[in-house]
Amino acid sequence: MTKKQKKVFWRIIVAAVLVVVVSLIPVKGAARFFLFGIPYLIIGYDILKKAALGIWHKQVFDECFLMAIATVGAFALGEYREGTAVMLFYQIGELFQSYAVGKSRKNITALMDIRPDFANLLVDGEEKEVDPDEVEVGSLILVKPGEKIPLDGIVREGRATVNTSALTGESLPREIETGDEVISGCVNMSGVLTIETTREFEESTVSKILELVENSSMKKSRSENFITRFARYYTPAVCFLALAVALLPPIVQLAMGMSPLWAKWVIRALTMLVISCPCALVISIPLSFFGGIGGASAQGILVKGSNYLEILSKTKYVLCDKTGTLTKGAFEVTAMHPADGVSEGELLETAAVCECFSNHPISRSLKAAYGKEIDQERLSDVEEIGGHGVTAKVDGIPAAVGNEKLMKKLGMTFFSTEEVGTQIHVVKDGKYLGLLMIADVVKEGAKEAVAELKRNGVKKVIMLTGDSKKAADAVATQLNVDEVRSELLPSDKVDSVEAILALKNRGECVAFVGDGMNDAPVLSRADIGIAMGAMGSDAAIEAADVVLMDDDPGKIATAMAISRKTLGIVRQNIVFSLVIKFACLGLGAIGYVNMWWAIFADVGVMVLAVLNATRALVYKRG
């Protein structure tokens, strides 16, 4: 509990004890008024103050005004215990609501903790602790075990394990070493790192994420806007209705020559005011969405506003980019086909050594597959032939690595395969060693992610890619997507989204999922753009409405499931609250509901609605 919550808690305890004690004392008249007035003021002075300030600032119709009028009216009619009880239970409900809001902020607050407090700046070899805002691009900073990485950068010295859970929601740590890129907000678990900064703090990943989360509550859903408008008209309407209940029946009785029962009708009107307080709706609906956003952030899914959370629940068409979204977006050696009498080890080693000086993606994939440290002294006479490959000497022996064009140029006899990917042929000492297949491989869990989307009510999963038809069809077959459109330019992708938008039914939404780097036009054109965050790339955070921080396509279905759960809770609270409110209002008007039932209709409904809303915080991925 916060200090403020503890103060309210003890006020409730003291007031409740005094109400019980005073109820047992056999006093009447002014003494009874005075004795009940003590716990009433202890528990309700802040509500009375807020009501008075609301009237002063011409913002009359709110729950504080309703509580003040109802309880002061009850005291005026001699209903001291009921008036105090209304205020007491209202404060209990408010305390409960405050605690629930605090709990719902827990995941967001945990995310906010990724902001580093300091950076260890290296100046002429000396370490100096400074604010991250003071560090310029190109500076060297030192990050020790247990410290947060304060800025984005490249590791220049050191090797370590970093915890990325605050950004991705995943507990599995990452191994980084010299030359690797690192982002701010991660925690160094082992080893000392020297990092060259590549961004200022205000442009860093952690800064952009914090800004995104802080602003998420500003973008309200249609449900929230409806409740805001509803409360604006509902509260004054019930106030005038209560006034009519208090005045019209006695006036009619008086006109008919009957004795007017003022007290009876005023009590009914006050009861209606207590019942009518819209706390359950005004509090629980935003709390549900806030809880949904917090629950999503705990899964490594950043939702920029509750309006996007609402759209996710209506998504029926999911259009996915291929490279970097459904596939890893990086070349890997997928197959080795050595010639007769040649081992796979010799084939791969020759290719990796020949390519050891190059930073081409194909070269990097060959070195990664080899997995051993390469002595560059083994290589000499390197010549890169544009559009063909590389020739060189390995341990003084002529060798060549490249495509079919290079083999034909060298006059070599070679073989091919029908497998999808890039074929890399290898020659050494005039002998053909075989070929290596290099391709972009499907992400682990991508096939299951597509199946999960269909189980979650998505009508079509469509893959859009600029890749060749052969490569695209191969991936589409692996993933079981419903439709594939290949060899597309960025403008063609926008046209594809436009076509699906024209076909969808009313109330259905279209989502586009991309890597955020070159898909910004499509991300913004779809009803909702979902970006593979690439560990928080700038383009992903800026272009998309939802960011999946760990690039896991399975999180698309998770985001939709969280959205549907949140919207379900919102609808439950709206229906439950309104049904109870209107039923009790009707019964209160005809005298079948007393002040104690009114307390349940107000505080009881609010507590139940808030309890239900907190369920949005928790989501267990199956």
Q: Are 573 and 285 in contact (CB under 8 A)?
A: yes
E-strand spans in 349-503? Answer: 379-385, 389-394, 397-402, 422-428, 431-442, 460-464, 483-485
Return the half-sphere exposure (C-beta side, CA atoms, 13 A cut-off) of residue 195.
33
Going by their DSSP bridges, the two strands 460-464 and 315-321 should be labelled as parallel
Q: How high is the pLDDT of residue 279? A: 66
Return the half-sphere exposure (C-beta side, CA atoms, 13 A cut-off) of residue 126.
4
Which residues, given as ranges, of the chain have pLDDT below 70? Answer: 1, 60-62, 97-115, 165-172, 208-232, 277-283, 359-361, 516-518, 520, 534-543, 621-622
Long-range CB contacts (< 8 A, 24+ apart) of 262-268? Answer: 263/77, 264/591, 266/73, 266/77, 267/74, 267/77, 267/79, 267/595, 268/588, 268/589, 268/591
Q: How high is the pLDDT of residue 153? A: 92
- CA-to-CA distance for 109 and 111, rounded, in angstroms? 5
Catalytic positions, written as ranges: 321
To the nearest 10 degrees (0 to 180), the angle between helices 29-56 and 80-104 is 40
Q: How high is the pLDDT of residue 444? A: 85
Q: How high is the pLDDT of residue 282? A: 67
Q: How high is the pLDDT of residue 155? A: 93
Give the type of residue at 524.
Answer: S
Q: How high is the pLDDT of residue 223? A: 59
Q: Give Cα separations from 303 to 238, 528, 590, 594 (angstroms).
A: 36, 11, 47, 44
What would the two tokens of residue 20 be?
């019980």
To the nearest 10 degrees (0 to 180), the angle between helices 222-255 and 262-276 is 180
What rounded mean pLDDT belongs to the chain? Answer: 82
Q: How high is the pLDDT of residue 332? A: 84
- CA-to-CA distance for 235 and 70, rounded, in angstroms? 14
Q: What structural domains does the chain harbor?
A: 1-104 (no CATH), 119-214 (2.70.150.10), 262-323+444-622 (3.40.50.1000), 328-442 (3.40.1110.10)
- CA-to-CA distance for 233 and 236, rounded, in angstroms? 6
